[in-house]
Amino acid sequence: IREIEYASEMTVRRVRTSGEIKWKGGLLYLSEALVGEPVGLVPESERHLAIYFGPLKLCLMDQTTHQLVRIAPEWKQ
């Protein structure tokens, strides 16, 4: 199985064994289900980064609080 590739404008982080990614000197918990997988981060607004697993947008991260923001599921066809 090929590894997921992300667009060049995305920042890629690999999910650690704890389910976290390292971001700006800290750790941000995503999910232990993604351990070892790359995730892509891309600015969505001045305040929020979108976090993707392949084409699936998982959540937003508030860059001022470093908190995750849930989103409604988006289905791409």
- What is the Cα–Cα distance from 51 to 58, expressed in whole angstroms? 6
pLDDT number for residue 71: 86
In a domain, 25, yes or no: yes
In a domain, 77, yes or no: no
Q: Render pLDDT for 45-59 as a digit per residue (tens, 0 to 9).
A: 999 999 999 999 999
1-7: average pLDDT: 90
Domain count, the chain: 1
In a domain, 1, yes or no: no
- β-bridge mates for residue 69, sequence order: 60
- Domain residues for 55? 11-69
Q: How many CB atoms lie within 10 A of CB 52?
A: 19
In a domain, 26, yes or no: yes
Select from 29, 8, 11, 32 the least CA-distant residue to 20.
Answer: 29
Select from 42, 48, 39, 41 the least CA-distant residue to 71.
Answer: 48
Q: Does the pLDDT of residue 8 top 70, yes or no?
A: yes
